[in-house]
Amino acid sequence: MTSTQNPTAAGSGASATEAFRASRPQAGAAEVSAERVSSVVAAVLDGVRAAIREHNVTYPEYQAAKQWLIEIGEGGEWPLFLDVFIEHVVEQNAAATQEGTKGSILGPYYLPDQQRLPAVTTLPMRPDEPGVPLVFAGQVRDTAGRPLAGAEVDIWQNDAAGYYSGFAPDIPAGNLRGVVVTDDQGRFEITTIQPVPYQIPTDGPTGKLIEAAGWHPWRPAHLHLLVRAPGHRQITTQLYFAGGEWLDSDVATATKPELVLDPVERDGRLRVDYDFVLEPA
């Protein structure tokens, strides 16, 4: 392994904040009416006020909370904190109108514009990339069962040390990321390594909060995916591994039973098949 330096929370937080800004997700916000802003924001504030009353929050606690909020911003951890504790509820709302493959949260570590790769491929990785080899194969179809040729399986994952390229030092850009294009049968076969459980950085404000509350900071091992094809609704999802640690207690509350893979050993590697189904846009 080439990595000697431990990534810091501040480092990955700043990168996640920068990646979020670069994605320009605010486009469309101008359409929101004053009525909508008022009703949603009033409900959020009412919830906070109710918690303060119910738990008789004191001045020292209030000031500590203010300090913590300042640190979340300074450490660039708003994407991390929000995606871990809030995004799954927004995803639940989106899922109510979505057919086909189940979705899950995007999380803070997606990077667009990665290398385009052929249908049968190996994800970009270091020559000495540690980890258990995994072959992840399948087909992309529409809700009528027709194969989607030229669909894009945009995949990213952590390495055997638990870190994502672009959000930790000493990992080459694009490592364990890629946009795999399906063949004329809508098929793909991706050779990679097994991802490992992800620990929320314990040295930043999100980690400090989790520790102060006595919670655990772990997500189960997962592959992240965006699957898209022209004329179809893009799916944002994650795939997990049967029997894996933290599967039933994901700190980000983002697992679903339909998204659990169960790889089998074949020729000394793990292999698993999983098909994606996209609905019309």
> What does the radius of gyration of the chain's CA atoms come to, in whole angstroms?
20
Task: Show the site string, 158-197: x = touches ligand MBD by CB under 6 A, - = not.
Answer: ----------------------------------------
Binding span for ligand MBD by CB under 6 A among 58-66, 100-108, 140-148, 171-179:
100-108
Query: Which of Fe ion, ligand MBD, none does residue 84 bind (CB under 5 to 8 Å by kind)?
Result: ligand MBD
Residue 265 burial (CB < 10 Å; 0-12/13-18/19+)? exposed
Q: Which is nearer to ligand MBD, 111 or 229 (CB)?
A: 111
Q: Which is nearer to ligand MBD, 84 or 270 (CB)?
A: 84
Closest C-alpha among 102, 182, 191 to residue 150: 182
Residue 107 near Fe ion by CB under 5 A: yes
Minimum distance from residue 86 beta carbon to Fe ion (Å):
15
Residue 109 near ligand MBD by CB under 6 A: yes
Q: Which is nearer to Fe ion, 50 or 86 (CB)?
A: 86
Contact positions vs Fe ion (CB under 5 A): 107
> Which residues of this chain interact with ligand MBD, rule CB under 6 A?
80, 83-84, 105, 107-109, 198, 219, 252, 254
